[in-house]
Amino acid sequence: MSDGTEKPRGRLSGKVSIVTGGASGIGEATCLLFAREGATVIVVDIQSDKGQALAARIREGGGKAEFLHCDMAVHAQVKAMIEYAGNTYGRLDVLVNNAAVESPLAEVDTTEEEYDRIMDVNVKGVFLATKYAVPLMKRNGGGSIVNISSAYGMIGSPGFAAYHASKGAVRLLTKSTAVTHARDGVRANSIHPGAVDTPLLREAINTNPDPQRFETTVANMQPIGRLGRPEEIAYGCLYLASDESKFCVGSELSIDGGMVAQ
């Protein structure tokens, strides 16, 4: 994710971080960048093999990381995830709520079961992680919560009804958290990626009847004319996680190649 010309600056030195959905895509890039900048990274995912491999890769490179299996739709597992950070490290400085699932279907084609699955992971998971992270952060003087929403948490498009609803909910949940806990030193901000070349999007492209045309169409939805790269979102996470963004409270960071600006 780096050409090797940029040297780490220790922007997260001494911080303990949790990144959900950390085993691949935006989460993986964020874990790698956080570790490079000095954070202890708890890689959280349901993809155990990939998560363990990533944590090992970080450790082999001299970073601090471990893997924790957690289904963000399961209350007890989310609570245990936050408690693990507190019991193991005595603190939690950064929580990146990145884990998400999606469906391309419009509301008329979405089953109740599919709607519930998407909302459970994408919204309830963020809600629960925040619920248990805030007291732990307050205990140590504050922290940063970075919620990965979407450009489609701000604007609409055909289909993806439940996914869009979930990302809009994350956007406003972030603001509620931000204004409620700002004076406790707990900051909450949201990031709104456009179309990013992640395994999830790549799967959708590769299973399309005309992959090349579909990829071009998706890329051209963004004025920049290309897909985003996971590390480009990770750098936004780094900024919001670091002390450089201490005055950012309830902000929306669009990293979308100009999609929302149209």
User: Distance of alpha carbon 220 from its chain centroid, rounded?
Assistant: 24
Give me the pLDDT at residue 104, please: 87
Confidence of residue 4 (pLDDT cuts 50, 70, 90): very low
Write the pLDDT tens digit of every residue in 55-114. Answer: 999 999 999 999 999 999 999 999 999 999 999 999 999 999 999 998 888 999 999 999
Catalytic site residue 163?
Answer: yes
Write the pLDDT tens digit of every residue in 180-200. Answer: 999 999 999 999 999 999 998
What domains lie within the chain, and their CATH numbers?
Answer: 16-194+230-255 (3.40.50.720)
* Helix, strand, or coil (residue 66): strand
Alpha helices per DSSP H over 140-229:
161-181, 199-206, 211-220
Mean pLDDT of the chain: 95
Catalytic option among 115, 132, 152, 163: 163
Nearest CA to 18 out of 120, 151, 137, 123 is that of 137
1 has pLDDT over 60:
no
Chain length of the chain: 262
pTM: 0.94
Nearest CA to 28 out of 7, 61, 55 is that of 55
